[in-house]
Amino acid sequence: MKQLKERIMHDGRCFEGGILKVDSFINHQMDPRLMMAMAEELVRRFSGSGINKILTIEASGIAPAIMAGYLLEVPVVFVKKKVPSTMENMLTTEVYSFTKNRSYTVCVSGDYLHRGDKVLFIDDFLANGNAAKGIIDLVQQAGAELSGMGFLIEKGFQQGGDLLRGEGIHVESLAIIESLDNCQIKLKE
């Protein structure tokens, strides 16, 4: 997506260890116009998939997910990174965090994710696919169907994209980073 790619090149910052910071328009300060444009593009790419629910994971997936949910007129459920004591019918899984370098338990209520749901998962980044693997597990536990996974930014030099596409999952990423070597952002054309 041209608009996102231009913004990454203009405002993205590269950090040691292959981390791309997009805090000025996605991860901290958010640009609602760009966010809506990205949601529109994701909705376009998954049109005809019969999606009746959008799933995301807190925190940074929520903004694009809620906008896509608004456009599709379907509910948006976010997987929680802290397990609340009051959640009913809880489904849990373990996710390894690339940026925090540790595993943690995430959860969602089976009241909001269940058999019959055709789910589109939306998140900010796809790196090694650890969050995505956890989501697949939750969707399976719920007996729901995964229609696709949409990401704003995919780090093409990490394994997540190959892993998910290799499993036959419909994956769409609006910008693919080819390399962050020498702290230089290189995008896939």
Contact residues toward ligand 5GP (CB under 6 A) are 19-21, 27, 60, 98-99, 123-132, 155, 160
Nearer to ligand 5GP, 99 or 182 (CB): 99
CB of residue 169 vs ligand 5GP: minimum separation in angstroms? 13
Residue with tokens 């997540």: 160
CB of residue 33 vs ligand 5GP: minimum separation in angstroms? 20
CA distance 51 to 148: 9
CA distance 90 to 102: 22
CA distance 147 to 106: 21
Residue type (1 letter), 36: M
CB of residue 125 vs ligand 5GP: minimum separation in angstroms? 4
Nearer to ligand 5GP, 15 or 111 (CB): 15
CB of residue 74 vs ligand 5GP: minimum separation in angstroms? 21
Chain centre to alpha carbon of residue 133: 11
Nearer to ligand 5GP, 41 or 154 (CB): 154
Three-point CA angle 161, 163, 164, nearest 5° = 70
Nearer to ligand 5GP, 21 or 44 (CB): 21
Nearer to ligand 5GP, 24 or 27 (CB): 27
CB of residue 88 vs ligand 5GP: minimum separation in angstroms? 26
Token pair belonging to 120: 């589109």
CB of residue 159 vs ligand 5GP: minimum separation in angstroms? 9
Nearer to ligand 5GP, 38 or 127 (CB): 127
Pairing of the two strands 145-155 and 171-179: parallel
At residue 139, φ and ψ (nearest 5 deg) are -65, -40
Token pair belonging to 78: 């976010």
CB 161 within 8 A of CB 125: no
